[in-house]
Amino acid sequence: MSKHHNEKNVHHEHNAEHKPKEKKILGFEVKTIVLLAVLVICTAMVSTFAGMSVSQNSTPQTGAVTVTVDKIALMSTVQDYINENLLNDETVSAKIIDINEIGNNLYVLSFELTQNGQKVQAGVLYANKDKLIIGNVFDLNTPLPKPETQTPVETQPVKSDKPVVDLYVMSFCPYGNQAEDTMKPVYALLKDKAQFNVHYIVSVDGNNVQSLHGAPEVAQNEREACVLKNYDLNNWFEFAAYVNTNCGSDGSCWETGAKALGIDTEKISACVASEGVALMKATGEASDAAGASGSPTLIINGVKSSAVYQYGNSEAYKQAICTSFNNAPSECSTTLSGSTASTGGSC
């Protein structure tokens, strides 16, 4: 469903490092993750330089040149430069929130990175009138060349008598939530004809489970996985839809939804306590093996389908599955809702 609560279980603690997976890491483009790492790691390196500058500046220097800088303009220039040149994911944006001079015409700027309106990183970087310093020196007067846009190659579906439909999500990813809601009527129509599976995109190191949207998402991933284990996919879709609609980004009302659907909350809580980490390890391994790093990812008979990005268009989802039958069943002639609420976007 789809940044944190104060659960103290070791497997609910998170840090800033994520395991690389193909072109994305837990939903971020590789270029974005590189920037995140640079902004964090190089802070220490540049801070050393900044400290030297302050130290050098503590004693009056004969002939020192002071450059007048419009701080507000510099904040805006740095913010625009990062967003236009260094972030390659339209769901991620940078905001410069403060600026202070530290000597030798060098400024420290505090920043925040947000994804889909939620803060995912914060820190500081350094700049002078013309240069941005984050490991490399970027000339603020010279834009970086844009990468060439590549047209995605459409892959032909693999056909079978009973297609296997795998949906990979993060429980608090808004795009994953839209995919779940879009898939729900398709599952209801074809559940006896195709095999549907749901997996979660997580990273697991020992008993430490990480998910892009923090500890609340890990907890909800585990609750949903326990519903899936103890009930069936029909119950899962109903439970996921309830939390998507009613419970915000922390899942605080999950028990109300579960009880309304006849799901035993004590059984789910016990399952989370005893099996939550194991379930996340299994689902994380499945996501890794499939190369599913962005939420949502739809794979039908082992082939990724771009139809998943047609959020609100259940008919598109149905057609993608129905083209994967050797002989499409009569249910495939049923027309589902075809209005597309939005397209593209993933976590």
Q: Averaged over 316-336, what is the pLDDT? A: 94
Best CA proximity match to 325, nearest among 135, 212, 193, 196: 193
pLDDT per residue as tens digits for the range 99-158:
998 887 889 888 888 887 777 777 888 888 888 887 566 778 888 777 665 555 556 788
pLDDT per residue as tens digits for the range 257-287:
999 999 999 999 999 999 999 999 999 999 9
Best CA proximity match to 210, nearest among 21, 23, 338, 29: 21
Residue 119: how many other CB atoms lie within 10 Å: 11
pLDDT per residue as tens digits for the range 46-74:
443 444 333 334 344 444 455 677 888 99
Q: Averaged over 295-305, what is the pLDDT? A: 93
Q: Is the pLDDT of residue 41 over 50?
A: no
> What local confidence, expressed as pLDDT, does residue 65 receive?
54
> What local confidence, expressed as pLDDT, does residue 115 receive?
81
> What local confidence, expressed as pLDDT, does residue 4 receive?
36
Chain-centroid distance of CA 33 in Å reads 11
> What local confidence, expressed as pLDDT, does residue 54 receive?
38
Strand order in the sheet with 136-139: 92-103, 106-115, 118-127, 131-134, 136-139
Best CA proximity match to 139, nearest among 89, 85, 88, 66: 85
Going along the chain from its start, the domains and CATH numbers come out as 17-139 (no CATH), 164-343 (3.40.30.10)
Q: Averaged over 150-169, what is the pLDDT? A: 81
- If DSSP codes are grouped into helix, strand and coil, which group holds residue 181? helix
Q: Averaged over 326-341, what is the pLDDT? A: 86
Residue 237: how many other CB atoms lie within 10 Å: 21
> What local confidence, expressed as pLDDT, does residue 45 receive?
38
> What local confidence, expressed as pLDDT, does residue 117 receive?
76
Read off the pTM. Answer: 0.58
Those residues whose C-beta lies under 8 Å from the C-beta of residue 179, and which sit 6 or more positions away, are: 167, 169, 295, 296, 298, 308, 311
> What local confidence, expressed as pLDDT, does residue 66 receive?
58
Q: Averaged over 304-330, what is the pLDDT? A: 93
Return mean pLDDT, the chain. 79
Q: Is the pLDDT of residue 302 over 90?
A: yes
> What local confidence, expressed as pLDDT, does residue 6 receive?
36
**Pick the residue with more confidence: 289 or 63?**
289
pLDDT per residue as tens digits for the range 2-30:
333 333 333 333 333 333 334 443 344 44
> What local confidence, expressed as pLDDT, does residue 342 receive?
63
> What local confidence, expressed as pLDDT, does residue 148 receive?
62
List for the chain the helix, strand, coil content (%; round to 5).
40, 20, 35
